[in-house]
Amino acid sequence: MRRSRTILRTLGVALLVAGAVLAAAALLMPQAVEKAYGEARTAVIQQVDQVRQDVFSELPSVALGARGGIPELDRCDGTFTEMLSYEREDVPPVWAAHNNCAGDVILGWGGGQQVRIDGRDEIYEVTDIRYTSKIWSSTDDLVGLGGELALQTCFYGEDRMKFVALTEVSG
């Protein structure tokens, strides 16, 4: 009985110390913690997508939602918002989602990744990728981005955005 109390007390202290260390890291290095979280989350999403493909023959999918701007994007409803501010000649329609609102699904995608868009029968493939800064960048950085449409999200804990261009490969 006494031994089990000692073990429980030691375990409790260890958990408190671990919690304090994590809290301190979050306060002192928030971007590093956010980046580590994002990398871990992206790795899990990739593994789940791979299992779904291997076991169920299901491709990763995204949902397209409203057209608009920041207010529509900030709804965080699990869909990508068509960003009207990105409309420009030589740039495909850009659909964006915050990384913590289902946008992070695209962070692990590379060239050749095949995906589905909810509500469409076609299969799309990643045919171009662009990385830009979250600040001091403009649509000039996207001119010539290939594809019929592009999906955009931000990296966790970094000053970077990822644009993934999709092209229909079957229908």
Task: Provide the pLDDT for residue 122.
Answer: 95
Percentage of residues of the chain with pLDDT beyond 90: 65
Is 62 or 9 the better-scoring residue by pLDDT? 62
Task: Provide the pLDDT for residue 15.
Answer: 77
Task: Provide the pLDDT for residue 24.
Answer: 65
Q: What does the domain layout of the chain look like in residue ranges?
A: 2-170
pTM above 0.85, yes or no: no
The CATH number of the domain covering residues in 2-170:
2.40.260
Task: Provide the pLDDT for residue 37.
Answer: 80
Q: What is the DSSP string of 23-57?
A: HHHHHH-HHHHHHHHHHHHHHHHHHHHHHHHHHH-
21 pLDDT band, cuts 50/70/90, is low
